[in-house]
Structure 1
Amino acid sequence: MAGARLRRDRPRAAAAATAVLLRRRSAEDARLRPSDLWTSCWRCVSPPWLLAYRALVVVVMSSLLVKEVLADGIFSFFFYTQWTFTLVIIYFVIATLISAHGCWIYSKQEVIGKEEANGLLKHDIEDNGPGTLTLKTNNEKARLQSENDQEVNEKRAGTLGYVMQITYQTCGGAVMLTDIVFWCLLVPTSADHFSVNLIAACMHSLNAVFLLLDTALNNLPFPLFRMIYFVFWTFIYVIFQWVLHACGFTWWPYPFMELATPWAPMWYIAVALAHIPCYGSYWLIAKAKKTFSPKFFPDAYTSSY
């Protein structure tokens, strides 16, 4: 009797253990490691190169936004495009600051690594004696100091690191929504009274290009469940527009936001549903990089998640 009950309980216990392992593995995959913020997934791209790219993007995108604001004034920020463009700049500013901090950690690790290599060389040359013990002690102190410094620095970067990750994931869906709606909906339907100038074309293309290049280089995870931040970002913009119209504004920046038309509910539902393929497409790009890069570039690609 007891043996039969034990045999019946074994599959349940195995299933429960498997579920726990899967949940733990999923949590580990989604966990943000401090070094993921400023290291690249490619061995040939060092942290200083990633820092240089992010800083260059900040300069280029900020210049475009300044030109847009100088041309149209504060009116520019009535549009979702400028909101998203500004959010992408904020992401790259945070990423640049964290990359600079990471390069400082990286330089300290390099110096300590060279000191340890020199110590091993001296160890091979010198005879065993008191100096060898002193050398080992000094190297051990240096290693412990490096580990302690890295642990402290990683703890300090924790909150800002998660802000950077959330901003990055929000930007991923937002740039897809912005550019797809602009090029596939607004430009074709408004061609008679709307012309695309150079700044508008850059703002509706470079935002995605720069972010996709960063995705190709960075080591950040892109979990699917974080789509809620993207939806919340668009929700804030819609509330902003509704508040403006409650205060007396009558002009809508996008025709599908007009509440007085009978098709308004359908438009809002359609745009809300569009968040799923927009975020999903960017998630698929990040997933494809993680899946196929180790297969095609096993010696060059490295990832911590």
Structure 2
Amino acid sequence: MSIWDDTQYWVQWQVPVCAFIVAAPAVLALRYVKKLKAQPFDYADLWTPCWKNFSPVWLLYYRAFAFVCLAWMLYEMVVFAGAFCFFFYTQWTFALVMVYFALGTIVSAYGCRLSSKKPHSKNGDSAESVQRELEEIQQKVGLWGYLMLITYQLIGGIHSLNAVFLILDTALNRLPLLWSGFAYFVLWSCLYVTFQWVIRACGFYEWWPYPFLELNTPWAPIWYFSLALVHVLCYWIYVQIEKIKISVLPGLFPQAFVGSF
């Protein structure tokens, strides 16, 4: 494709329309990002299971196992296809889920350590020392915890194996899936589309990894708008899974289930 042809490609009427369809939700999402931080936040919900008598250690083991499995599979993808595999949104979400379980493993490890340290000593100095250490651990968990909670709001776009690990984690953890968290999900997808536009405009390749990203068609705005609606549907489905968890399970297991904050 010549420089002239490439210029003609980007001045078609559907390009600014599609750009607006991508940019408008991103701008709105940025306005709602701060709402997630305003939600009540209990550190213990990051590593405490939603089932009584279910040790946080088992949640730690599960998250570590999920991280190792996903990391190994992503490694195999990179070995097979190289960095090219990250041209596809599937690998982006796969890597994001892996990051979530990595953060979850770290936070659960801190949580288990925190749970094992209780300032019950009769020695005043010793009790104060333990209390200070507990506060330091909570501060560290706070940073990782917010990152973990933000990542959890991004994983509404699920694929096969991702879905298995995520649904199992949802069934075990006490983290809520907030509608305000949809803003992060939108920003993540807009970032991917922007990434594709930039590398396409820079001439790294002359094709799109997904046909619905193609701009050289009068149907492009419809495809982009439909894609936006699909994101709402995906997140809605995962929110319904969360609602079923907190509304159905307490009735089925009143003595065993513990709700989220």
TM-score normalised to the size of structure 2? 0.80
Aligned with 2:157 (options 160, 174, 177): 174
Deviation at 1:294, TM superposition (A): 1.7
8 Å CA contact 2:36–2:180 kept in 1: the answer is no
* Structure-2 change in CA distance of 1:206 and 1:246 (3 Å): same
What is residue 257 of structure 1 aligned with on the other side?
A: 213
8 Å CA contact 1:37–1:220 kept in 2: the answer is yes
Give matches, 1:52-71, under 5 Å.
Answer: 52-71=61-80
Aligned with 2:192 (options 233, 237, 249): 237
Matched, 1:279 2:224: no
TM-score normalised to the size of structure 1? 0.69
* Structure-2 change in CA distance of 1:148 and 1:295 (3 Å): farther
Deviation at 1:28, TM superposition (A): 11
The one of the two structures with greater contact order (alpha-carbon pairs below 8 A, sep at least 6) is 2
Deviation at 1:144, TM superposition (A): 5.6
Equivalent residue of 1:282, what SS? Answer: helix
Q: CA RMSD in A?
A: 2.2
Structure with larger Rg:
1
Equivalent residue of 2:209, what SS? Answer: coil
Deviation at 1:71, TM superposition (A): 1.1
Q: Distance in 2 between matches of 1:89 and 1:292?
A: 29
Aligned with 2:42 (options 33, 39, 52): 33
Deviations 1:160-182 (A, max 9, x none): 211110101101x121xxx3xxx
Matched, 1:227 2:182: yes
Q: Distance in 1 between matches of 2:237 and 2:128?
A: 44
What is residue 165 of structure 1 aligned with on the other side?
A: 149
* Structure-2 change in CA distance of 1:301 and 1:143 (3 Å): farther
Q: Distance in 1 between matches of 2:42 and 2:192?
A: 31
Counterpart amino acid of 1:39?
T
Q: Distance in 2 between matches of 1:28 and 1:238?
A: 26
- Structure 1 unaligned regions, length at least 5: 1-25, 116-137, 180-204
Matched, 1:83 2:39: no
Matched, 1:153 2:162: no
Deviation at 1:222, TM superposition (A): 1.4
Structure 1 outlier segments of 4+, above 4 Å: 26-29, 139-148
8 Å CA contact 1:32–1:162 kept in 2: the answer is no
Q: Distance in 1 between matches of 2:239 and 2:89?
A: 21
Percent identity between the aligned chains? 47
Q: Give the total of aligned pairs.
A: 226
What is residue 296 of structure 1 aligned with on the other side?
A: 252
Counterpart amino acid of 1:228?
A
* Structure-2 change in CA distance of 1:253 and 1:211 (3 Å): same
Counterpart amino acid of 1:96?
T
- Structure 2 unaligned regions, length at least 5: 1-34
8 Å CA contact 2:149–2:175 kept in 1: the answer is yes
Q: Distance in 2 between matches of 1:300 and 1:139?
A: 36
Q: Distance in 2 between matches of 1:277 and 1:236?
A: 19
Q: Distance in 2 between matches of 1:224 and 1:304?
A: 15
Deviation at 1:287, TM superposition (A): 1.6
